[in-house]
Structure 1
Amino acid sequence: MLCVGVVAAAGPEPFTTPANLSHYKPGDVIYTRKAAPPPLEKHAILADAVYQLLFRSSDSNNESIAAVTTLVIPKQPEVVRPLNSKGPPSHTILSYQAAQDSVSLACSSSSLWGRNDSDSTTSSEGETAQVIGWALYRGVYLVLPDWQGPHSSYGVGRLAGKVVLDSLRAVEHFQKLNGSQVLMYGASGGGHATAWASTMAASYAPELKVVGASFGGAPLDQEQLIRSANDGPFSLYSAASLLGLATQYPEVQAAVNKTKGPKEAAHLRMLTTPAACTNTSIADFGSIDVLSLFQGGSPLGNHNVQRALGRETLLPDRAAGFNIAVPRFPRYIFHSLLDEVAPHNDTLAYVKDQCKRGGDIVLDTYKGRGWPGLGNHSAARYGVWSLPLGALGFFLHGEKFGVPCGEGPPGFEEV
C-alpha cells in the first residue's frame, strides 16, 4: 500500500499554520520573513530585498490552506503607463511559476530559493535565472509562488490557479501595490499553473489587473499527460500527476494506494523525497509503465478517477460540468510539435476553442529545425526564452503582435 504524503521543505524552517486559518480571507498575509538575496551577484545588486510570505488560499475543494510565496523587490521599481491608457502609471508584478517535477515540498520555489547549484531551480544556467534577470533589469516586482500548495499537489490546476492568484493578492497587500499591472509566466508544470491562473483570474480575483501571460509546454489535460508520458523517458510525470491528484481527490487516493506490492510503492515514493527535484530525477525514476504498478490494472479505468480527471482539464470536450473561461488579456503560448508529455494536439484544440470565443493568443510552435531537441518537451524549459519573455514586455506596454488569434509571432521563422 502507498500512502501519499510529502516531505517537509529542506530549505528555511517551515512556517507554522495558525489554527484560525479559516478566519483569514484569501490573499491575506499571515506571516512574513526576510529571505536570502538572489544567488547570482549580477541579480543580487539589482534587488532591494527578498521576502517570503505565508498567506491564506483555498484548495480545489474550497477548503482553507496556507501557502508560501517568495517576493523579490527591485532596487529601482519602474512605473509604467500602457499605450492608449487613460489610467495612472503603475508598478508591475511578474508571477513566475517555476516548474516542479515532484510531489515533495523540498522542491518548492521557497525551499530552493537562494541556492545556485545544479540541483536547484535557481541554477545560474536555468530558466529561473533568466526570469529573475528579466524582471529585475526592468524594475519589475518578481513573485515565485509555491503553486502546488502545502501538500505539493502536482497537476491539480484548480488548486494551482487559486494559489497563484492569492499569492498576487498577498504581495499587493504587503507592498501596497494595489492596481499594479500583473504579468504571469511559466513552462512545463509551471505553464500548467499559469494556464489555470489565467483561466480563473476574472472569476476568482477580478480585482487583479492582469495584462498578459506567457506559458509553454503546459499539460492542459491530466489524463492526456498521464497516458502520454507513461512508459517512456518522462514516466516520472505520469506518477507525479497521479500522486498529486491523490492529495486533493479521495477517489484517486483510494486507487493509487492499491499498488501491487512494496517494491512498486517504494518506486512511486521516490517522488516524495528531496532527491526528486534534482536535475537527474527523471533518469533516476526510469522509463517504466506507471499504470501497471497498481492492483487491478490502470487507475484510469476507474470511473471515480475519471470523474476527478474531468475536473482537471482545460479542453472543452473533456471538461465535466464546467465552462472554460476565455481570459480578457493576451497570451503568448509556446509549445513543441513533438512534446512527449503535453501533446501538441491538445494545445491546438485549446487555442482553437479560445480563439473561436474571442481569445487573443499568439501560438509559437517549436519544430526543432536547426536545434536538436527543440522539438520536444525539454524545449519548454531549456529552449528559447527570448520570445516568450519578450512577449510580456509587449503586453506590459499595451502593444499587440498584430496577427490573427492562434498564429505565430510575425517576422520569426518557427524553430
Structure 2
Amino acid sequence: MSMTIDMSKRSSRLPPTQDPFYHYDDLATLAKADPGTILRSREVEIHHHVASAYQLLYRTTDVLGNPIATVATVLRPFFPNTSALMSYQLVEDSASMDCAPSYTLDNNQPSLGGALIRPFLDKGYYVVASDYQGPNSAFTCGVTSGNGVLDGIRAALASGSETGIESTAAIQFYGYSGGALASGWAIQLLKSYAPELNVIGAALGGTPVNINATFNEVNSGFFSQLIPAAIMGLAQQYPEMDKYIFSIIKPQYQKMWQDVKTSCVMDLFQFMNKDVAMYFNRSDYLDNDIVTKIIRENEMGHLGAPSVPLYMFHSVHDEVVPLSNAYDMAQSWCEGGTKIHFVSDSLSEHLSLAISGSPEAFNYIAERFDGKPLPQGCQFKSATSTIFEDGVLGALSDMTFNGLKSILHGN
C-alpha cells in the first residue's frame, strides 16, 4: 500500500461533491488495488487541537462487492503515542456525500463530534475518522460501513512515513448512534475481512441494531427525518430499492425525496413530526420483499459474537434507538463469548447520553490501551447515570469545558 503526500495544506473547503480529491476515476487501478490501499492523500488544516491532520483517499469494498474509494481523516496529537490508534466513527446520518465526516471536520465548523474526540488526542492517541458510508453515502448499510471503517484503519496504518503511526499499532473503536452502527459492523466483520488488525477493544453507545425498530420509534416525532435519510441511504446502495421506493412515492413528493440525497439530516426539517407513510401511495410502504430482505441483511448481530471486548452504554429512555434491541444483542454476544460491560442509563435520553456517557467510555478505552486486565465474563449494569461512576464527573467537567471552548473558538 503506497501513497503520495501533497504537502501543501488545504485551507479552502470545497464540499466533497465538488472536490476532485474525493473522486477516483481510474476504475482499473481501483479494482486491482488491495482493500485499504491509499490512492491519494493530502495534509489539511484542522483546528481541533491537533498537531497535524491528513486526508487519505483509500480503496474499500461495498456490500455488493464493488471496489469503491472513500476518505479517512487522520489526526496526529501533539504528544503522540505511535502505538495507539483510535478509530472514531463520527455521526453522519445522511444520504449526502457533502455531510461526510472528512468535510465536517475539515470545514472547521463547531461540532460535538470534534469536541468529544479531544480527550483521545489529549491522551496521545492518533485518531482516524473514516467516511465509512462511502461515495454513495449508504447510510445504515452495515457491510459497506463496516468495511469502510476497517479499510480506513488499514490506510492509517500504512501512512506511517508521514503520520508516524506504527503499522502494528493497537486499535480501538468508538462510536455513538450512527457511529456505533459503523463501529459495530466493523467489529462483526473483523474476523472475516481484516483479521490482521490488532484490535483490543471498543466502546459503543446508543447502538442501532434494527432499522425498523428505529423507524417505529421516531416516526411522527422530532427525529422522523432519520427515516427518509436512512431509506435514501439504502436506496443509493441498492438500485432495486431505489426503483421500488420511487415507484410508490406520491407524485407531489418525488422531488422532496430526491432532495434527501443532497441534504444533511438536520436540513430535513420538513419531515420532522410527520408520519412518513403520508408520502407514499400505500401506508405499508416497507412491506415489500425487496425492502424486507435489505433491512434484514442490515440488522446488526446476525454474524455471530465478536472477539473484541466491548463497553456498551444506552439510555433506558432512548427516544431514537430502543434499548431492548441493543441489550438483547449484547446478551446474545455475551453467550457467544464476547466480554461485554453494558450500562443502562436511566437519567439520560439519546442526545444527552452522547455527552454524559462518553467519559466512562473513554476510561474503558484508556484502560485497554494501558493493558489493564478485563473483568471476568460479562457485566450488565443499571445506573441512574454514568456520570456518577468513579472519576467521571471530573472528566465530564473537563470535557464539557474543552468541548464548549472548541465549539466557541473552533480549535
TM over 0.5: yes
Q: Select 2:229's aligned residue among 231, 240, 250.
A: 240
Distance 1:260 1:109, change over 3 A: closer
Q: 1:75, CA displacement in angstroms? A: 3.3
Q: 1:160-202 deviations in whole A, cap 9, x for unaligned?
A: 0000000101111121622110011011101100110011112
Task: Specify the code of the residue in structure 2 equivalent to 1:19.
Answer: L
Q: Does 1:65 align with 2:51?
A: no
Q: Which amino acid aligns with 1:144?
A: A
Aligned to 1:55: 58
What amino acid is aligned across from residue 154 of structure 1 in structure 2? F
Matches within 5 A, 1:8-87: 9=16, 12-17=19-24, 18-20=26-28, 21-37=30-46, 39-40=47-48, 43-44=49-50, 47=51, 49-78=52-81
In 1, Cα distance between equivalents of 2:317 and 2:278:
25
Amino acid at match of 1:245: L
Preserved CA contact (<8 Å) 2:176 2:205 = yes
Q: Give, as a single letter, the amino acid of the residue that structure 1 aligns with 2:45.
A: A
Measured after TM superposition, the shift of residue 269 of structure 1 is: 3.6
Q: Counterpart of 1:321? A: none
Task: Give the 3-state SS of the residue equivalent to 2:81 in structure 1.
Answer: coil
Which among 340, 349, 353 is matched to residue 361 of structure 1? 340
Change (3 A) 1:111 1:183: same
Where structure 1 has 5 or more consecutive residues not aligned to the other structure, the ranges are 1-6, 80-90, 317-323, 369-373
1:367 Cα offset (Å): 0.8
Which amino acid counterpart does residue 286 of structure 2 have in structure 1?
A: L
Partner Cα distance (1:197, 1:58) in 2: 13
2:228 maps to amino acid: A
Partner of 1:83: none
Aligned equivalent of 1:99, options 91, 105, 130? 91
- What is the TM-score when the length of structure 1 is the normalising length? 0.82
Q: Which runs of 5+ in 2 are unaligned?
A: 1-13, 389-411
Structure 2 Cα separation of the partners of residues 234 and 109 of structure 1: 20
**2:7 aligns to what?**
none
Using the TM superposition, give the Cα deviation of residue 389 of structure 1 relative to its aligned residue in structure 2, in angstroms. 1.5
Amino acid corresponding to residue 265 of structure 1 in structure 2: Q
Q: C-alpha distance in 2, partners of 1:355/1:185? A: 19
The count of aligned residue pairs is 369
Local SS of the residue matching 1:26: coil
Match of 1:114 among 106, 121, 125: 106
Match of 1:166 in 2: 151
Give 1:352 deviation, angstroms: 0.9
Whether 1:405 aligns to 2:394 is no
- Measured on the aligned residues, the alpha-carbon RMSD in Å equals 2.4
CA distance in 1, matches of 2:384, 2:84: 28
Q: Secondary structure at the match of 1:31?
A: strand
Aligned 8 A contact 1:156 1:245 in 2: yes
Q: Which residue of 2 aligns with 1:331?
A: 310
- Secondary structure of the residue aligned to 2:281 is coil
Q: How do 1:109-148 and structure 2 match up within 5 A?
A: 109-118=101-110, 123=111, 126-131=112-117, 133-148=118-133
Q: Does 1:204 align with 2:193?
A: yes
- For the residue of structure 2 that corresponds to 1:95, the secondary structure is strand
Residues 138 and 233, structure 2, Cα contact 8 Å, conserved in 1: yes
Is 1:230–1:291's contact at 8 Å kept on the other side of the alignment? no
User: In 1, distance between residues paired with 2:384 and 2:353?
Assistant: 21
Cα distance in 1 between the residues matched to 2:33 and 2:104: 27
Distance of 1:159 and 1:290 partners within structure 2: 26
Please give the per-residue CA displacement for 1:307-342, whole angstroms capped at 9, x wherever unaligned: 1112111244xxxxxxx2322221111111122222
Moved over 6 A (4+): 409-415
How far residue 9 of structure 1 moved from its aligned partner, in angstroms, is 2.2
> Structure 1 residue 181 and structure 2 residue 170: aligned?
yes
Q: Note the 1:242-257 alignment, pairs <5 A.
A: 242-257=231-246
Contact 1:12–1:111 (CA under 8 A) maintained in structure 2: no
2:294 paired with 1:308: yes
Tell me the secondary structure at the aligned position of residue 66 of structure 1.
Answer: strand
Which of 181, 191, 207 is 1:192 aligned to?
A: 181
SS in 1 for 2:257: helix
Change (3 A) 1:15 1:153: same
Corresponding residue SS for 1:232:
coil
Structure 2 residue aligned with 1:87: none
For 1:29 and 1:160, the matched residues in 2 are separated by 18
**Secondary structure of the residue that 1:235 maps to in structure 2?**
coil
Cα deviation for residue 404 of structure 1 reads: 4.3
Superposed, 1:218-297 pairs within 5 Å as 218-274=207-263, 276-277=264-265, 280-281=266-267, 283-297=269-283
Per the alignment, residue 365 of structure 2 pairs with 392
**Residue type at the aligned position of 1:34:** E
Please state whether the residue corresponding to 2:380 is helix, strand or coil: coil
Q: How many Å separate the matches in 2 of 1:140 and 1:272?
A: 34
Residues 67, 198 of structure 1: alpha-carbon distance in 2 compared, 3 angstrom cutoff: same
CA distance in 1, matches of 2:386, 2:57: 44
Corresponding letter in the other structure for 1:163: G
Q: Is the 8 A contact 1:51 1:70 kept in 2?
A: yes
**Displacement, 1:139?**
1.7
Give the aligned residue type for 2:341. Answer: V
Rounded Cα–Cα distance in structure 2 between residues aligned with 1:308 and 1:411: 37
Aligned partners of 2:70 and 2:134 also within 8 Å: yes
